């Protein structure tokens, strides 16, 4: 049976709520919410709760969003057609 104490390196093994929160830079409340929503897999023995780092990394990787390059038509520049139309409209007003 594996030990529930995290190795000295901190990269593998098991962590408690505080350790897993520090690893992902979230609060302990967020960790508890993720537990309730079954986002993070954990082991509970009585009141002792531990997270296996590898399983948590895999579980959170499922939520990763891959960024797609936007189409050139959606890239905003300083001279958008709408801004040019508004400028033309202001220039056409009487008294200007």
Query: Taking every pair of C-alpha atoms in the chain, what is the biggest distance, in angstroms?
Result: 86
Query: What's the pLDDT score for residue 30?
Result: 96
45's enclosing H/E stretch is: strand 43-45
76's enclosing H/E stretch is: none
The count of domains in the chain is 1
23-77 residue pLDDT tens: 999 999 999 999 999 999 999 999 999 999 999 999 999 988 887 776 666 666 6
Query: What's the pLDDT score for residue 68?
Result: 74
Higher pLDDT, 13 or 8: 13
Q: How far apart are CA 73 and CA 10, in angstroms?
A: 46
Residue 96 lies in domain: 1-96
Query: What's the pLDDT score for residue 3?
Result: 41
72-85 residue pLDDT tens: 666 666 655 656 66
Ramachandran quadrant class, 18 (left: phi over 0; alpha: psi -120 to 50; beta: rest): alpha
Q: How far apart are CA 76 and CA 71, in angstroms?
A: 11
């Amino acid at each position: 049976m594996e030990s529930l104490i995290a190795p000295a390196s901190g990269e593998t093994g098991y962590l408690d709520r505080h350790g897993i929160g520090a690893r992902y830079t979230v609060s302990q409340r967020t960790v508890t919410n993720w537990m309730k929503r079954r986002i993070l897999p954990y082991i509970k023995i009585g009141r002792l709760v531990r997270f296996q780092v590898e399983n948590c990394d895999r579980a959170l990787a499922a939520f990763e969003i891959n960024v797609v390059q936007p189409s050139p038509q959606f890239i905003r520049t300083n001279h958008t057609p709408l801004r040019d139309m508004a400028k033309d409209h202001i220039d056409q007003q009487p008294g200007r």
